[in-house]
Chain A
Amino acid sequence: VIRKDGSVKAAPFTYHRPASLDDALALLAEYGDDAKVLAGGQSLVPLMALRMGKPEHVVDIGAVPGLDQIAVHDDGAVSIGAMVRHEQAKRSPEIARYAPLIRDTMPWVAHRAIRTQGTVVGSIAHADPAAEMPAVVLATGATMVATSTSGRREIAADGFFEGYLDTSLRSDEILTEVVFPAWPTNAVGSMVEVARRHGDYALVGLATKLVIDGDTITDAALSFFGVASTAVRVSVAEETLIGSPANAETFAAVAKIASTELQPPRDIHGTSAYRKHLAATLTVRGLEAAAARIGAAA
């Protein structure tokens, strides 16, 4: 329905606000494909307003207790619950200490007022290819915990994102938690991106993780976003980094490889060639930012 003043409203839906996880899962078991899980709503609400999504049932998990927890495990892994807001993660001392790449990522996510409501896990479940968190999931090798009435299921990072706004989550599942493995003491990382305005979705962005032993890179993750239908790691570039010294020469060579490997789409915001150029520039920038932290606290 387009109102007289031109604005658009979501199609009618049945609204559920369950007070427990069991109730939420029962609703999803019953309504399955006709239902959508609502966490912060910063992506779902506008999608529904534009009628790109018309779920018959909306299951708001905002009143479900216990989903807003950030937990540090004994081994240093960090769990983020489904209702942890971006701003909560941004301010969390646990995230700052144990998940430095997430700490570095939060200021890039949307705008301050959107981070109040938006959730870290919701952004992962939404799987926008130009969003930051899916790239962080790939770079860190996080584990997605999906819960349904039939139990809990763990999904590895490389099997989670299936396409544009598409994941391997089933329609009866809630992504209740994402577990980020312990950040190695000798790892450094960075988040860089180019967007038309700060807070917009990235034209191209890059999450970087390097593990360093002495002067040599022993492990690497280069996880790009905004360049394909999902966030993508560029394994050829990563393999080139491994065994090489962390210096300008290495970074320039790797930037060339990454830019060649990627085949970004063209759209109204930029041509494919421009995105390839940005990918090369950001590769150098991201690697330099990470390398600048070698020897310093994460």
Chain B
Amino acid sequence: MTESTRLQAEAKVGGSVVDLSITINGTDRLVSVEARRTLSDVIRDDLGLTGTHLGCEHGVCGACTVLLDGEPARSCLMFAGQAEGAEITTIEGLAAPDGTLHPIQQAMMEAHGFQLPCSPTIQTRPPRRSARNCPATCVAALGISQSWPVSKLRCA
């Protein structure tokens, strides 16, 4: 289904379409999306940035965490329109433009930080105490509590 037929279909079932203007990883983007799409849908499906993951889709697991105007936020718990005008950073925007990794990414690599559904977003919001709190309550994080604190220490 093309985007225009998709949006027409939405109007037919009574749903709004919103024109959303956001800055994502430093680039200004304008997208038309169904109002019931979450910010995470927009990031993944409309903007093609699939580093932001979806786990539970109700705010518990933390896999969808992005930086919203510099503050961590659950992209699955926001309707698209709520992000109007916001500056968003995803995992794809964490490294420097020349490819130099963010210190957290570098530490993750050096300490063999495991690849998990929440790994990309853990790097946008590193845990303060240990992986047991990270990024919220993701059960998978319990299994990596041996290696993640090391990653954390290296970037401190």
The chain A residues found within 8 Å of chain B, CB to CB, are 7-15, 17, 38, 41-42, 45-46, 48-50, 56, 58, 60, 62-63, 87, 110-114, 116-117, 197-200
Contacts and interface: CB of A to CB of B under 8 A. Distances in A.
Interface string B61-90: 010010010011110111101101000000
B14 A50 contact: no
Interface in B120-143: 125, 133, 135-137
A12 B13 contact: yes
Contacts of B37: 9
Given A56-B14, A87-B71, A41 B62 contact: no
A49 B58 contact: yes
Contacts, number: 99
B136 A113 contact: yes
29 contacts: A12-B10, A12-B13, A15-B16, A15-B35, A15-B79, A15-B81, A38-B82, A41-B77, A41-B79, A42-B74, A45-B38, A45-B79, A46-B59, A48-B36, A49-B38, A56-B14, A58-B35, A60-B79, A62-B82, A111-B59, A112-B125, A114-B59, A114-B74, A116-B73, A117-B73, A117-B74, A117-B82, A199-B137, A200-B137
Contact of A114 (B14, B18, B77, B133): B77
A38 B79 contact: yes
A45 B83 CA distance: 13
Contacts of A114: 59, 73-74, 77
B14 A12 contact: yes
